[in-house]
Chains A and B, each alone.
Chain A
Amino acid sequence: MTEKIFKDAGTQKTARRVREFSHFRRAFFSRGLVVFGMVVILLFIFVAIFAPFLAPYDPYLPDLKARLSQPSSAHLLGTDSVGRDTLSRIIYGTRTSLMIGLTVVFTGAIIGMGLGLIAGYFGSWLYTLIMRFVDVLMTIPMILLALIIAAMLGGGIMNIIIALTVGVIPVYSRLMCGQTLTIKENDYILAERSLGASHPRIMIRHLIPNTLPPLIVVMTMMLGTTVLAEAGLSFLGIGIKPPTPAWGSMVNDGRDYLLTLPVLSFAPGFAIMLLVFAFNMIGDGLRDALDPRLRGLL
């Protein structure tokens, strides 16, 4: 008898999950722009992985005979001032942007969530210490903060990742701390505690899963923001060091030849925009689909 009840409860739970998921799927894929975003991201990932096979030329190899050539069948998007093929550099630049974006967003999420969780869960002086620090970090705009840190550490991929990660940590900490403060007041957490559950168990089993939906949305949005910020730093000449292909610095390099060869600036900028647009649309779609109050509303 008891066994049967348990079994029923189990199937009910699964059934509910399946229903939730199909709701989610319907809300998520019903919007054209969201699907477009998914397709674009998958394409970019494909390009990043298979860059060596897709790029028509070596992105590092100068060809002094073909300097600043106009778009042609040999060089679809022309060549830069030392004769490197723009298309190939954009294709390899996908790797730079995606790699930095993903690393920053995930590292930032882990550190930021950890800090927010500790601050919200344990409260008292830990809360004050962590959240005041976060408040201070938040008073400096992300691009300025990243600029300063990058200047202190010097350019290069690793330092840019560190600089941008510090910039995104506050967003996650705030979110996680707020969520934790609300959720830990629930009676079921108290019940769990009185049954003898440890703090880590409550955090892992209850607090983190409950925060996941808004967290996923924020992470997707932050991917766009991070890619933009990295491009901005590279544009200012502080980000990725040449000759590594980065879209931001390509836009900047192309400015010198704007009148004769605008494609040098336009094409990499368009790539940045397309990638960020896709991340934002997926973020919108996720937000819409994960929030039961919003479902189908936006």
Chain B
Amino acid sequence: MLSYIIRRIFLAFIIVILASLLVFLGMRFLPGDPILMLITNNQFQDYPEEYLQELRHQHGLDKPLIIQYFDWAGKILQGDFGISILNQRPVSEEIVRRLPVSLYLGTLAFIIGHLLGIPAGIICAIRRGKWLDTVITTWANIGITIPNFWLGVILMYVFGLKLGWLPIMGYTSPFDDFWLSTKQLLMPVFCLIVPPLAGVTRQARSSMLEVLHQDYIRTAWSKGLNERAVVIKHAMKNGLMPIVTLGGMALGHIIGGGVIVETVFNVPGLGRLAASSVISQDYPYVQAITLLVAVAVTFSNLLVDIAYGWIDPRIRYG
């Protein structure tokens, strides 16, 4: 088991390094001279060539690409993501301010989605074809389908504009005003819950159904075990394996998954920052967020792999 874990961790590091390389090269191959972007703030002005050369030298842009990469990566390891082109402030400052917001919303949605989705899927599988199954499955099918920006717009219309129960946008920290914060969060969190909830329900249902038809489950039944024992002790362990994968992906997407919902509800999280800096071409932000998301996804995949190895010995030794 230990060698398996070490192998996986090693692989995760390679992927993170490759991802950082991709992000770095992506930035370098962007149209436009990075030094001009840095000094002119996107204004057009003529600078003497010698001055530009000196600036390039100052910022290390005349060094070979590989050296530049190591410089850049070294700074990132120290938490220095560079300076925003638009407002000239350190990128890491803004990231640190926004990360908790996205984490808060995303974790809430992740936990609620899984807590409701797994039992819902299992119930559907056990009661296949009954009215409860039909109702839940229909909602789950709608849930994976509904565009979440549209869901947001509908919620805003109904609860914000027509009924006037909830504020239509904005964000307040729960430490400042818990009640207002909760009211503001209800709609965006709901929008964030729907896709994982629906996805988990569908996946739990179909994989449980597959397991429930296997021979060893029939054996368990014929031993005279009751439904609870068959489902919980025998079927669930195998039936919920795919949920681990799905959950791992959702876990990694917590910080970057709110691009659309945060934009709709004007929540100052990382997702909205990603969208707005892509539009305003403030690339240091884009770079930092992409890298952060890539690291988060890689390490949640690592967790999934380790969990798999722990649950299923065949994988560990395979």
Contacts and interface: CB of A to CB of B under 8 A. Distances in A.
A280 B145 contact: yes
Secondary structure at the A interface, as helix, strand, loop or mixed, is helix
Contacts, number: 132
A140 B290 contact: yes
A101 B155 CA distance: 27
Interface in A216-231: 224, 228, 231
B149 to A, nearest CB: 5
A262 B252 CA distance: 35
B14 A269 contact: no
Interface residues of A, number: 46
Given A132-B18, A258-B153, A258-B156, A140 B147 contact: no
Nearest to A259: B161
Interface string A124-144: 000000001101101111011
Contacts of B278: 147-148, 150-151, 238
Interface in B227-256: 252-253, 256
A61 B141 CA distance: 37
A150 B286 CA distance: 13
A258 B161 contact: yes
Interface in B9-25: 14-15, 18-19, 22
Closest 10 interchain pairs by CB?
A269-B150, A139-B294, A151-B278, A139-B297, A277-B145, A276-B145, A136-B18, A235-B149, A136-B19, A265-B153
Interface of B: 14-15, 18-19, 22, 26, 30-31, 141-142, 144-147, 149-150, 153-154, 156-157, 161, 206, 209-210, 213, 252-253, 256-257, 259-260, 263, 274-275, 278-279, 281, 286, 289-290, 293-295, 297-298, 301
Interface of A: 33, 132-133, 135-136, 138-141, 143-144, 147-148, 150-152, 224, 228, 231-232, 235-238, 248, 251-252, 254-255, 258-259, 262, 265-266, 269-270, 272-273, 276-277, 280-281, 293-294, 297-298
14 contacts: A132-B18, A133-B18, A135-B15, A139-B293, A140-B19, A140-B256, A144-B259, A151-B278, A151-B279, A228-B145, A252-B149, A272-B150, A273-B147, A294-B210
Given A147-B278, A150-B278, 19 more contacts: A132-B14, A132-B18, A136-B18, A136-B19, A139-B298, A139-B301, A141-B293, A143-B260, A151-B278, A151-B281, A152-B31, A224-B145, A258-B156, A259-B157, A269-B154, A277-B142, A280-B145, A297-B209, A297-B210
